[in-house]
Amino acid sequence: MNIHATKKLFDSIPFGAETIVTPEDSLYSWHANLLVIDRRKALVLMNEATRYAVVLYGVKAKDLKRIDQLVGESIRTMLLADHVDESVIDQYFEKAGGVTFHKSKNRSLTSRLNKACETVWFLGDELTLAEPVSVLASKRLNHLLVGGAGLEMTRPDEEMMAALAAMSGSDSDYEG
């Protein structure tokens, strides 16, 4: 799984970027940004193919040392919260491979990630320190319509569920 991190995130993690050797499938690529809301760090992950987002709030320095594990756990938590079958999630992570970090390469996707981060600011009431993944804020963000500039308006949660259904060869009955 390729994580394309912003400069702000790279300055906060204790390791460097890896180079991409093979062409990647955008379903297994995510963009990540680190922001501060109410003096606490928030990590926003956005899937490249579907714009499906995962919001982590209250990220600490010790979390950033194990960010590769945290990213995988957070994506898994969010997919389970959206009622994705565990076998489909396991298949997704098997096809995605290990978590690797790269410098952000696409200005358009970075712009979309920044728009998602702006929206997270307005969801501040739903951010909680009780759990690392802010499921409610993530669900609200994924339920909003995205698109524009010649793109069809879609919902990231529906797009992700359709992509996972196509990947696993199963029917999607996602109700949102």
Per-residue pLDDT, 175? 54
Q: Does the residue 89 lie in any domain?
A: yes
Task: Enumerate residues 6+ apart whose C-beta is below 8 A from 119.
Answer: 141, 144
DSSP, collapsed to helix, strand or coil, labels residue 162 as helix
- Average pLDDT across the chain, whole number: 89
- Residues 49-69: pLDDT tens digits? 999 999 999 999 999 999 999
Whether residue 88 has pLDDT greater than 60: yes
> Could you tell me if residue 175 is inside a domain?
no
Number of structural domains in the chain:
1
CATH number at residue 150: 3.30.420
* pTM (2 d.p.): 0.92
Q: pLDDT tens digits for 133-167? A: 999 999 999 999 998 777 789 999 999 999 999 99
**Does residue 176 form part of some domain?**
no
| Structural domain span for residue 121 | 2-168
Please tell me whether residue 148 adopts helix, strand or coil conformation: strand
